[in-house]
Structure 1
Amino acid sequence: MSDLEIWLIIILLTIATVINRSAFWLIGHHINLPRRVQEALRYAPSCALAAIVAPDLFISDNQLVTSLHNPKLIASVAAVVFYFWKKDMLLTILFGMGVFTLVRLYF
Structure 2
Amino acid sequence: MIDMNPWITFVLIGLGTFAIRLSFIEFYGALRIPPMLRRALVYVPASVLAALVLPAVVFEAGQPGIDWGNPQIPAAVAAGVVAWRTRSTLLTLAVGMGVLWGLQYWLG
TM range (shorter): 0.7 to 0.9
How many angstroms does 1:8 deviate by?
2.1
Distance in 2, Cα, partners of 1:103 & 1:14:
40
Task: Give structure 1 regions of 4+ aligned residues with deviation exceeding 3 angstroms.
Answer: 81-85
Distance in 2, Cα, partners of 1:88 & 1:55:
23
Equivalent residue number for residue 66 of structure 1: 66
| Correspondence list, 1:76-91, <5 A | 76-85=76-85, 87-89=86-88, 90-91=90-91
Equivalent residue number for residue 18 of structure 2: 18
Unpaired runs of at least 5, structure 2: none
Distance in 2, Cα, partners of 1:26 & 1:95:
39
Q: Percent identity?
A: 30
Aligned residues between the structures: 105
- TM-score, normalization: structure 1? 0.82
Unpaired runs of at least 5, structure 1: none
Amino acid at match of 2:62: N
- TM-score, normalization: structure 2? 0.81
Q: What SS is found at the alignment partner of 1:60?
A: coil
